[in-house]
Structure 1
Amino acid sequence: MSPIISYNAQWAKENISLPDLLSAFGHDPVSVTKHGYEYWYNSPFRYEKEPSFHTSYLGGKWIWNDFGRGDVQGNGNVIGFLQLHENVTVSEALQILRNLFPHKGQGVLWSKVNKLPLFQDISLSQKELGAAPAENNLEVTKVREQVWDKSLIGYLAGERSIDYQLALKYLKHISYTNKKTGKTYQTLGFENESGDYECRDKFFKGILKSPNAEDRNTAKDISYIPGSEKNSVAVFEGFMDFLTVLTLKKVPVLPVDVIVLNMVNMRRRAIDFIKQSNYEHIYTFFDNDQSGEKTTTFFKEELGQGVKPQNHLYQEFKDYNQYLQARKG
């Protein structure tokens, strides 16, 4: 029987390179030293001109330090980085890593799997030997304006409690193929300002490059939806929270302009975008966690008293969509 990979925390620490992960999210190093074992970056968590984010290969694993942060979360391993970067749990971080790097790591025989620690908690998959890095394997083959797949609609309406009839105006049906396996998958795509797609479904969370973008890497970016009231803007961390507001208000469009960060380290990009307009009111819908609090503070420092946080509306929950799910549950 073919070897299999156990996608657990030990697998992530031993097999996933932080430079590879940073590259997958569009972060390029400012300098590389010690024969490729030490990298310096402009921080992925804020805007800066001098690099303060450092990662190195030490003790058989990649570790990182963000010397510009003033909290205890300013260092760690690959899982800790992904938790902070994407605001996810450990299990969600492992799922993202599995999607990005399904062929990294040494497989073991099935007969030995039951001897692994915490066997009941690990995720297993057949290993394809000699595969290329996963970030180069996923290719969008078709983009449809209308979402037709029942499982995708079920994910929106069921797991996310979103009114899919309102949401589908903003989503595209993305078909993509793993070039190494030949398998094709369906996912929901939310277009960003660079033309690429923030994608979500029950099993996949990531960004896929537009088939029209041939001469560049995948681009993380904000999304902008114009409204009729040009004196106000609503800013969301992710598009599910934006769709949550539409569901709660039972409206197909918001009267104000909308900006979706798509990831918290796009906050500098969003603020620069906002500064080009004359908004009197800036309504923020950030998560009720440390990263959300820091992002709110950053907006207030940069944009002043026009910033009006709305996270009190879902104060018992991490984000607005969790509140919606609990309300409908």
Structure 2
Amino acid sequence: MEASMQIEIAKRIPLAQILAKMNLYPTKQTEKECWYLSPFRSEKTASFHVHNYKNLWFDFGEAKGGDTISLVQALLKQLGQDDSVSAALKWLDNTIDGKIDYLPPVIQEQAEQSPVLTLKSVSPIKNIALKHYAEQRRIPLTVAEKFLKQVSFVNENTGKTIFALGLQNEDEGYELRNSFFKGCIGQKNISFIRGSDNKPPKGINVFEGMFDYLSVIAQRNGKLLKSDTIILNSLNCMKLVMPYVKSYGYTFGYSWLDNDLAGKKATPQLIDIFKQENIAFCPMNCLYKPYKDVNAAHMAKLEL
């Protein structure tokens, strides 16, 4: 069988079927999604998410995810074994033994609804679970309280009220995060944070996510950066950067994008924006390699 064909078949194996082979079963599930205790570490609260329709996984504790092959690769790597694609395919072939319980998700995918979120309240952070989540990301509560709010909202599809940490964006929406949820209420936009320099600052920082920025602030014992900061909240918001740097006189642009394929693909776009305004491009990636992002490096540093 051709390798490309073998890969496509492997990607169609339900993640639930693979996890069951390792005696892992969901602690919570719906037609759309399942939550598992992570296969990568010992934990009491499930943080390993599987999207049933898309057949994709994401581990919120490790901040990584992917398809069936990437899951097996990660498991093999943890065991100290060959974690190449070919090794993963061989493992799947031996483990599943050709018995694939799979239904194409096309019809189900069409029926899937995006959650409709309705804002209930915005307040200082009081929820114990949210405080614990900030601690898990190694963000001191004093830092979290300075930039984030406790946001409660209702998922109109399920009727459930959810609490999350929220960072306000420039459209007065909120970027939302908790242990099991990542999303936005209101219009998606960047977040702009003025630096501590009273004079027009010479630099502008561009971070990909809120916890990357908060990690740097935590490392500075809560002190603001002198330069201004843009938190993209999504790489799709890169196009919104220009109005915030145009004709402002910034000399240096500090890039804090992720060390992954998406971050690498987005970097030329940011370089082009800076180039148009004669801003010197200063990538900061070397400070948090080999980790995926600033927060992952920050967490690893504190756990050593």
Using the size of structure 2 for normalisation, the TM-score is 0.62
The partner residue of 2:182 within 205, 213, 221 is 205
* Partner of residue 222, structure 1: 190
Partners of 1:5 and 1:184 lie apart in 2 by 20
User: Are the structure 2 counterparts of residues 5 and 226 from structure 1 closer, same or farther at C-alpha, using a change threshold of 3 Å?
Assistant: same
Structure 1 residue identity aligned to 2:182? K
Question: Which residue of the partner structure matches residue 134 of structure 2?
Answer: 156
Measured on the aligned residues, the alpha-carbon RMSD in Å equals 2.9
- What is the aligned partner in structure 2 of residue 281 from structure 1? 252
Question: In the alignment, is residue 135 of structure 1 matched against residue 115 of structure 2?
Answer: yes
For residues 108-123 of structure 1, what are the structure 2 equivalents within 5 Å?
Answer: 117=101
Report the CA distance between 1:117 and its aligned residue: 4.2
SS of residue in 1 equivalent to 2:216: helix
Matches within 5 A, 1:287-306: 287-304=258-275, 306=280
Percent sequence identity over aligned pairs: 31
SS at match of 2:255: strand
- The answer to whether the 8 Å contact 1:166/1:252 transfers is no
1:161 Cα deviation after fit: 0.9
Quote how far apart the aligned CAs of 1:252 are: 3.5
Name the aligned partner's letter for residue 320 of structure 1.
V
1:89 to 43, 54, 65: 65
Tell me how many residue pairs correspond in the alignment. Answer: 210
Does 2:174 match 1:186?
no
Q: Does the CA-based 8 Å contact 2:192-2:231 persist in structure 1?
A: yes
Unmatched tracts of structure 2, length 5 or more: 1-28, 34-49, 68-98, 103-110
SS of the residue corresponding to residue 251 of structure 1 reads: coil
Deviations 1:127-169 (A, max 9, x none): xxxx993422x2111111x101111011011x21112211211
Q: Which residue type is aligned with residue 31 of structure 2?
A: I
Aligned ranges for residues 1-329 of structure 1 at < 5 Å? 5=31, 7=33, 11-12=53-54, 89-90=65-66, 117=101, 133-136=113-116, 138-144=117-123, 146-157=124-135, 159-209=136-186, 219-229=187-197, 230-304=201-275, 306-329=280-303
User: Which segments of 5 or more consecutive residues in structure 1 lack a partner in the other structure?
Assistant: 14-78, 92-114, 119-130, 210-218
Task: Check the 8 A contact 1:228/1:256 in 2, yes or no.
Answer: yes
In the alignment, the residues of structure 1 paired with residue 273 and residue 255 of structure 2 have an alpha-carbon distance, to the nearest angstrom, of: 13
CA distance in 2, matches of 1:288, 1:261: 15
Q: 1:318 to 1:183 in 2, by over 3 A?
A: same
> How far 1:237 sits from its partner (Å)?
0.4
How far residue 181 of structure 1 moved from its aligned partner, in angstroms, is: 3.9
Find the counterpart in structure 1 of residue 14 from structure 2: none
Q: 1:296: Cα distance to partner?
A: 2.2
Alpha-carbon distance in 2 for matches of 1:4, 1:182 = 14
Question: For 1:133 and 1:9, how far apart are their aligned partners in 2?
Answer: 13
The higher-RCO structure (CA 8 Å, 6+ apart) is 1
**Structure 1 runs (4+) greater than 6 angstroms displaced:** none
Structure 2 match to 1:69: none
**In structure 2, C-alpha distance between the alignment counterparts of 1:132 and 1:309, rounded to whole Å:** 39
Distance 1:311 1:284 in 2: 8
Does the aligned pair in 1 maintain the 2:215–2:298 contact within 8 Å?
Answer: yes
**How far off its partner does 1:11 sit?**
1.9
CA change 1:189–1:132 in 2 (3 A) is: same
Distance apart, 1:208 and its partner CA: 1.1
In structure 1, C-alpha distance between the alignment counterparts of 2:237 and 2:139, rounded to whole Å: 25
